[in-house]
């Protein structure tokens, strides 16, 4: 059963921005932190902080293994990702802001994606930073498969081929600052939207969870699709408590065909 209020919100909005969390990709087989048996039940990213990564070859080896397992399942976009592509192609959606690092929005075909937590699809030189948030290596980067090939050959801690310093997945680890350029791009999109559609995020962690507040403050409406209550349900015009890949494609199809 398609939620009529959600359909109407999508149909009448001209500048939608989607904001996605881990729940967007669970139906692609990428677990969120709570999924039983998922990669996060074997690795705790809260233990693999940026400081510990820089300090310890063991933590780096564990982190690479985690990244490897993350992609071993070869996740594919699901119908919820496809629905956002359809909204963008129809001219209703200005962009996607995501907490996800899996690259599935781009793989589905979304053109404008802001990745607040970076991407696990690339690796980059991080130099030998003295403090978290400090940059930024020599500028070398490569697809993540570069590191996976070296892991296959028995290496546990690949070094930058350009300068010999540390290499890390191009993701934001615990203890690492968000990239200010991404945060500014996300904020600008949300300030300009007339509907913020959040999908599969518990909306509990700032600054990402502050995006619904920005939308409301700048005159936008908020629609939330999540399979459990979120920290921002009180701000939303419509809350749909369901699985994203079940409700979003039908709602978008109904909105575009109305
Ligand atoms: P989160 O705080 O964004 O919470 C995910 C929410 O989605 C939960 O409330 C959950 O109940 C809900 N959910 C799960 N499957 C759903 C579905 N099919 N439909 C609707 N709702 C669904 O995310 P988290 O798991 O606490 O992860 C925190 C951070 O860890 C993320 O922001 C991200 O940076 C990283 N992470 C990324 C990925 C990814 O790239 N796919 C996966 C796991 C974790």
What digits encode the pLDDT tens for the residues 96-107?
999 999 999 999
Over range 9-33, report the average pLDDT. Answer: 94
Q: Which helix (H) or strand (E) holds 7?
A: helix 4-12
Rounded Cα gap, residues 53 and 48, in angstroms: 6
Over range 107-134, report the average pLDDT. Answer: 87
Would the CA dihedral through 54, 56, 58, 59 be positive or negative?
Answer: negative
Distance 154 CA to ligand 1 centre (A): 32
Over range 105-129, report the average pLDDT. Answer: 94
Choose one of 19, 29, 31, 32 to mutate for the ligand 1 pocket test, by most ligand atoms within 8 angstroms of C-beta: 32
Q: What's residue 32's pLDDT?
A: 84
Over range 75-87, report the average pLDDT. Answer: 97
Residue nearest to atom 10 of ligand 1 (CA): 23
pLDDT bin (cut points 50, 70, 90) of residue 132 is: low
Whether pLDDT at 142 is above 80: yes
Ligand 1 atom at shortest distance from the alpha carbon of 30: 41
Token couple for 71: 């992609």
238 within 8 A of 9, measured Cβ to Cβ: yes
């Amino acid at each position: 059963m398609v939620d009529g209020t959600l359909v109407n919100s999508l149909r009448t909005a001209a500048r939608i921005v989607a904001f996605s969390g881990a729940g967007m990709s669970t139906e692609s087989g990428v677990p969120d932190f709570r999924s039983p048996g998922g990669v996060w039940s074997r690795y705790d990213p809260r233990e693999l902080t940026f400081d510990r990564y820089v300090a310890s070859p063991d933590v780096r080896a564990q982190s690479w293994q985690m990244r490897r397992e993350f992609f071993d399942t070869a996740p594919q976009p699901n119908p919820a990702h496809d629905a956002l592509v359809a909204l963008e192609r129809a001219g209703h959606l200005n962009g996607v802001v995501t907490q996800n690092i899996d690259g599935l929005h781009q793989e589905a075909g979304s053109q404008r994606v802001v990745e607040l937590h970076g991407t696990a699809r690339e690796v980059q030189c991080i130099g030998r930073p003295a403090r978290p948030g400090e940059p930024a290596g020599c500028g070398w980067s490569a697809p993540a498969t570069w590191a996976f090939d070296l892991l296959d050959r028995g290496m546990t801690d690949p070094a930058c081929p350009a300068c010999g310093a540390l290499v890390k997945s191009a993701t934001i680890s615990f203890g690492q600052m968000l990239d200010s350029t991404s945060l500014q791009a996300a904020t600008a999109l949300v300030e300009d939207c007339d509907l913020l559609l959040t999908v599969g995020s518990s909306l509990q962690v700032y600054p990402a969870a502050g995006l619904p507040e920005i939308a409301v403050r700048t005159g936008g409406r908020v629609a939330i699709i999540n399979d459990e209550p979120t920290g921002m349900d009180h701000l939303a015009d419509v809350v749909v408590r369901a699985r994203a890949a079940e409700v979003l494609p039908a709602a978008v199809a109904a909105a575009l065909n109305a």
